[in-house]
Amino acid sequence: MKLLVVLISLVAFCAGSAIPTIPGDNSHYVEGESRYIWMPDGDGVPHLVDLEAPVDPEAADPRNGANNEYWFFSRNNPNNAQVIVHGNANTIWNSNYVAGRPLVVIVHGWNSNGNSDINSMVREAYLAIQDANIIVVDWRQHANGAYNSAVSAVPSVGQFLGDFLSWLIGTAGGNWNNVHLVGFSLGAHIVGNAGRRTGSRPARVTGLDPAGPSWNGNANALNTQAGQYVEAIHTDGGLLGIFNRIGHGDFYPNGGRNPQPGCWISTCSHSRAYELFAATVRFNHLVGRLCSNIQQAQNVQCSGSNFNMGNGIFTKRGNGIYGLTTGNNWPY
């Protein structure tokens, strides 16, 4: 009997430590056990990540967020960024920032930058429906290292973002009730830290498939203290994304797990979160149904009251777990 237990443990260890060879295929992955996982970069290209790789000692430096760049866009400059430098008020006055407009902040995930797909897709969706102040946060200096090191940099990146927003609104004007923070993957946890840094003042915070590996039970993860209303859209729960409820409103399209409709590799389901969100900003057409529990959401068996997923409404408020189905291509 003892020999059988040893053999079972050895098989489990080998399975968890085996290096997967098919790019983008995470069928081997067991949350909390597997060492390796495929993660997409900002262009959707899968990269193999070692979740036990050593962390760069400098990754947890509380000053890392000082390297953030803040790219400003509006309908006056929809494609050409104006860089606003924290502490330099002239960079605000020389930009197209208008205090009376709503403010949207977009934060990318691991192995990405300000030019990655999430930024252009969400930015263009917002500017299609209203003239807003858009801030794209580029934190590539820390995002583009090893995954574990990027995880360690998240709190500082988020806290510096929170300080920047307080300075921006305090210097040039604005209304926290018209502020929406949007983050994808690791970016979701960054906006969580940013919102908490400001004292939960943003009207709305949206986490797009908040990163899962290293984040379950992590005190620095996105939670309901990030803003007045915190929403999460789960599309790759249990793999690249957190599956557990973490917001006021948690949405589980198509069960919240891999594979999402139309996805042929595992990493596609993770990125689907920002594609769905951008579509809802433009069309506000995907409607969730209230679930009694997370199992109902996973099994797409929810039949309670309606609540729209995503969209660009700053005053959005709600609470609960919601399930829904979508199509397999834009606008879903």
Residue 68: its H or E element: none
CA distance 73 to 83: 9
CB 274 within 8 A of CB 184: yes
DSSP lists the bridge partners of residue 136 as 71, 106
CB 310 within 8 A of CB 277: yes
Angle, alpha carbons 33-270-44 (nearest 5°): 110
- Provide the pairing of β-strand 133-138 with 103-107: parallel
Beta strands in 129-253 (DSSP E): 133-138, 179-184, 204-208, 229-233, 249-253
Catalytic choice (28, 47, 61, 285): 285
Structure tokens at 221: 């993860």
CA distance 222 to 214: 13
CA distance 331 to 52: 38
Catalytic choice (74, 156, 185, 214): 185
Whether residue 149 lies in the annotated active site:
no
CA 50 distance to own-chain centroid: 21
Helix, strand and coil in the chain, % to nearest 5: 35, 20, 45
Beta strands in the chain (DSSP E): 36-40, 46-50, 69-74, 77-84, 103-107, 133-138, 179-184, 204-208, 229-233, 249-253, 287-290, 306-308, 320-324
Treating both helix axes as pointing N-terminal to C-terminal, what angle do 266-283 and 117-129 enclose, rounded to 10 degrees?
Answer: 10
Beta strands in 267-330 (DSSP E): 287-290, 306-308, 320-324
Catalytic choice (138, 209, 236, 250): 209
Whether residue 185 lies in the annotated active site:
yes
Whether residue 285 lies in the annotated active site:
yes
Structure tokens at 198: 């400001």
CA distance 223 to 29: 25
As annotated, the active-site residues are: 185, 209, 285
